[in-house]
């Protein structure tokens, strides 16, 4: 694996080796751990809704088929992102038969959907009765992929979104805690302020600040137990009703 491919993988599945230069290390580390912890529950034919580059595909070892769908007009360049979209859809109707998937996953997608209810109904249509869902959304995170950034959901909001469309929500996990979230935001500020610098000064400055922020944020997050009213992301696991 060359350096570019390694770094692209590190953006979503970070290891300690990337922490000195990874301004989103804390949040991406938490997301990867949460998704990996639940991935073995997802078997059979899996639909990755809003798949982009399918960054978490390698975690779903029990999927017999892994299909990625996305929308063409989005806040990122699919070619630049290295997207691995199998099928583009029109944003309204998924090009699949009813009950044609055993599971649907969507990672950091629903903040980009202005009217989520019809989209959730459409996901329910292509999911078999009893089929599983796993959804993640940010709770505390800067605007991104502008202008297609519309919402932030609390744990209660996430649960309500899917329950009102007839899904059984098994649990909503909060990813990150107050300390980790605060240090993650500081790391974001460093990355934004140095984004237009030339490469060497930017790397030196980020190594001098990003790595300490990542390390201290994770350390303090482990030491201080809080009530997790401030956190970075939600991870919802549920299933389509069988009746």
Report how far residue 158's alpha carbon sits from residue 135's, in angstroms, rounded to the nearest whole number.
9
Same domain, 236 and 125: yes
**In a 3-state reduction of DSSP, which class is residue 64?**
strand
Q: Which residue has the tokens 């600040």?
A: 209
- How many distinct helices (H) and strands (E) make up the chain? 7, 7
Q: Is there a single domain that holds both residue 4 and residue 76? A: no
Count of Cβ atoms closer than 10 Å to residue 169 Cβ:
17
Sign of CA dihedral 47, 55, 91, 132: positive
Query: Does residue 235 sit in the same domain as residue 143?
Result: yes
Name the one residue in this structure whose structure tokens are 């190594």: 207
Residue 236's pLDDT is what?
98
Task: Split the chain (243 residues) into runs of 10 and give each run's mean pLDDT.
Answer: 85 92 93 98 97 95 97 65 86 96 98 96 98 98 93 97 97 96 92 78 81 92 86 97 85
The SS3 of residue 24 is coil
If asked whether residues 71 and 188 sit together in one domain, one would say: no
| Residues 48, 113 share a domain | yes
Residue 199: what pLDDT?
78
Q: Give start and end residues of each alpha helix (H) in the chain.
A: 3-10, 25-39, 78-81, 116-126, 155-163, 178-193, 199-223
2 and 70, same structural domain?
no
Domains held by the chain: number: 2
- Tell whether 119 and 183 lie within a shared domain: no
7 and 102 assigned to the same domain: no
Q: Is residue 34 a contact partner of residue 14, using CB atoms and an 8 Å limit?
A: no
Domain residues for 15?
A: 1-39+177-227
Query: Are 95 and 144 found together in one domain?
Result: yes
**Beta carbons of 118 and 217 less than 8 angstroms apart:** no
Name the residue among 12, 6, 57 with its Cα closest to residue 233: 12
What does pTM read for this prediction? 0.93
- Provide the pLDDT for residue 80: 58
Residue 131 shares a structural domain with residue 59: yes
At residue 35, the pLDDT reads 98
For residues 98 and 165, state if they share a domain: yes
Per-residue model confidence (pLDDT) at position 193: 79
pLDDT for position 79: 62
pLDDT of residue 74: 60
User: 130: phi > 0 → left, psi -120 to 50 → alpha, else beta; which?
Assistant: left
Domain CATH code at residue 89: 3.40.50.150
Q: How far apart are CA 176 and CA 226, in angstroms?
A: 10
Collapsed DSSP state (helix, strand, coil) of residue 110: helix
Paired tokens of 71:
């929308």
Supply the pLDDT for residue 20: 85
DSSP code string of 147-209: TS------HHHHHHHHHTTTEEEEEEEEES-HHHHHHHHHHHHHHHHTTTS-HHHHHHHHHHH
**Tokens representing residue 227 in the block:** 């009530």
Could you tell me if 141 and 60 lie in one domain?
A: yes
């Amino acid at each position: 694996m060359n350096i570019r491919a390694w770094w692209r993988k590190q953006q979503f599945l970070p290891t300690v080796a990337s922490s000195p230069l990874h301004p989103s290390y804390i949040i991406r580390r938490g997301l990867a751990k949460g998704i990996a912890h639940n991935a073995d529950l997802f078997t059979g034919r899996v639909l990755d809704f809003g798949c982009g580059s399918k960054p978490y595909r390698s975690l779903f070892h029990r999927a017999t088929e892994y299909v990625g769908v996305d929308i063409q007009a989005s806040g990122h360049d699919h070619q630049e992102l290295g997207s691995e979209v199998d099928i583009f859809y029109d944003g309204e109707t998924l090009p699949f038969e009813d009950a044609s998937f055993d599971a649907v996953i969507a990672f950091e997608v629903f903040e980009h959907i202005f009217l989520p209810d019809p989209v959730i109904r459409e996901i329910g249509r292509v999911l078999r009765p009893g089929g599983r869902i796993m959804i993640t959304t940010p709770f505390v995170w800067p605007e991104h992929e502008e202008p297609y950034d519309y919402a932030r959901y609390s744990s209660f909001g996430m649960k309500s979104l899917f329950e009102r469309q007839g899904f059984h929500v098994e649990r909503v996990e909060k990813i990150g805690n107050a300390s980790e979230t605060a240090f993650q935001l500081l790391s974001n500020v460093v990355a934004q302020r140095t984004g237009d610098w030339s490469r060497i000064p930017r790397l030196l400055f980020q190594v001098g600040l990003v790595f300490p922020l990542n390390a201290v944020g994770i350390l303090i997050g482990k030491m201080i137990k809080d009530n997790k009213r401030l956190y970075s992301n939600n991870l919802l696991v549920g299933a389509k009703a069988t009746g």
